[in-house]
Amino acid sequence: MYFSKISATGSCAPDKIVTNDDLSKIVDTNDEWIVSRSGIKRRHFSSGENASDLATGAAEEIIKRSGIDPLDIELIIVATVSADYTTPSTACLVQANIGAANAVAFDVGAACAGFMFGLSVADKYIKCGVYKNAIIIGTEVLSKYLDFNDRGTCVLFGDGAAGVLLERTEEQEGILCEEIGSDGFKAMALTKGFSPAGNVFNNVSCEADRSMKMDGKAIFDFATRSVPVSVKKLLEKSGRFTDEIDFVIPHQANSRIVEIISRKLKMPLDKFYMNMDEYGNTSSASIPLALNEMVEKGIIKKGSLCIFTGFGAGLTWGSMLVKF
């Protein structure tokens, strides 16, 4: 039986940093208001980099750290809701940029849980023996979709990319268990980029709406209800207990959400890694950005038992038990 393990990580974020004070000059807000409600202090905004550029930077760092030959990469999955194009896929652009001529490449779209869904797909391919390795990247340039008249939403999001190299192993490590799901009945709680079905033969307007729209209260309630349930189901499936878990790497949406999840799971808050103060909510990139930071700081060690848990538009959610 095969397992899939994370053997390398990498990230890439725009150099341009936008602080809460910077936003207060164009939006009716202030640093105290943003920090008290979200824990976010600053975020990185694109200076012209597209999602494929950031994803390529993350992939190049993964390749450098792992030493893998790009020609040996077999699968590339990119999770994004802010792709350069509707088609071609961002993954195909990354494939060309890094010279991974032998890889199969495609995108997944599950918003803030996108990295979890991409990781799940790659894990199955590897465990079934179809591929020996895969690069999975979450990448977002959400700044291009923000409505800066909507202070409750525009202050929350940022741009960035990060990912992992997943490789086949026969050791019982890596991705041990997962719990993922969707609730399309609540899909309209968070939307972005509506494109109407207008054409020259009907009376439907062709004007698209690019901006992000979010019912903040609905998403807050969804996250604080669904994530604890997802994590509990994951632990039940795996036969593990909360005190066995070294770290939880949650989607970096809001520090208050993470605090509530910690209380509901009766797990110490210091087990939950957070870096939204630096990046804001980077959707599909947030979990791998946090993971990569933990690896760089030496927090993740051989044998560390971690839970990844993401939630977002769709509505979607996903939790994984991962052993390093």
Q: What is the CATH number of the domain that holds 290?
A: 3.40.47.10
Pair 280, 183 in one domain: yes
My answer on whether 186 and 228 are in the same domain is yes
- Cα torsion at 274, 78, 145, 50 (round to 10°)? 100
Q: List the structure tokens of 166.
A: 């997943």
Q: Mark whether 189 and 223 lie in a shared domain.
A: yes
| 88 and 57 housed in the same domain | yes
Q: How far is CA 307 from CA 49, 155, 205, in A?
A: 31, 27, 45
Checking if the pLDDT of 184 tops 90, the result is yes
Percent of the chain with pLDDT over 90: 86
pLDDT at 194: 85
**pLDDT value, residue 208:** 76
* 182, pLDDT greater than 90: yes
Q: How confident is the model over 236-257, as a mean pLDDT?
A: 95
Q: Which residues form the catalytic set?
A: 112, 251, 281
72 or 211, greater pLDDT: 72
What is the pLDDT averaged over residues 139-165? 94
Q: Indicate whether 95 and 209 sit together in one domain.
A: no
> Is there a single domain that holds both residue 220 and residue 284?
yes
Assess whether 103 and 74 both reside in one domain: yes
Token look-up 């209800």 returns: 225
pLDDT exceeds cutoff 80 at 206? no
Quick one: pLDDT at residue 200?
Answer: 84
- Among the candidates 140, 172, 204, a domain finishes at 172
**Residue at which a domain ends, from 157, 172, 187:** 172
Half-sphere exposure of 291 (CA within 13 A, CB side): 37
Report the pLDDT value the prediction gives residue 280, as an integer from 0 to 100. 96
> Per residue in 81-107, pLDDT tens?
999 999 999 999 999 999 999 999 999
Range 146-171 average pLDDT? 93
Please compute the mean of the pLDDT values over residues 66-78 and round it to a whole number.
98
Q: How confident is the model at residue 31 (pLDDT cuts 50, 70, 90)?
A: very high
CA distance 137 to 289: 10
Give the confidence band of 260 by pLDDT, cuts at 50, 70, 90. very high
The pLDDT value given to residue 196: 85
**Whether residue 115 sits in one domain with residue 8:** yes
Considering its fold, how many domains does the chain have in total? 2
Res 132 pLDDT > 90: yes
* 171 has pLDDT over 90: no
Residue numbers of the domain that contains 129: 3-172
Please indicate whether residue 172 or residue 157 has the higher confidence score (pLDDT): 157
Please state, for a pLDDT cut of 70, what percent of the chain lies above it.
100
- 84, 130: one domain: yes
Same domain, 87 and 132: yes
Q: Of the candidates 116, 145, 172, which is a domain's last residue? A: 172
The pLDDT value given to residue 205: 84
pLDDT at 207: 79
Cα distances from 33 to residues 21, 36, 149, 221, 246, in angstroms, run 11, 5, 16, 20, 32
Tell whether 101 and 231 lie within a shared domain: no
Q: What is the pTM of this model?
A: 0.95
Whether residue 65 is found in the same domain as residue 43: yes
Q: What is the mean pLDDT of the chain?
A: 94
pLDDT(203) > 90: no
Mean pLDDT on 232-251: 96
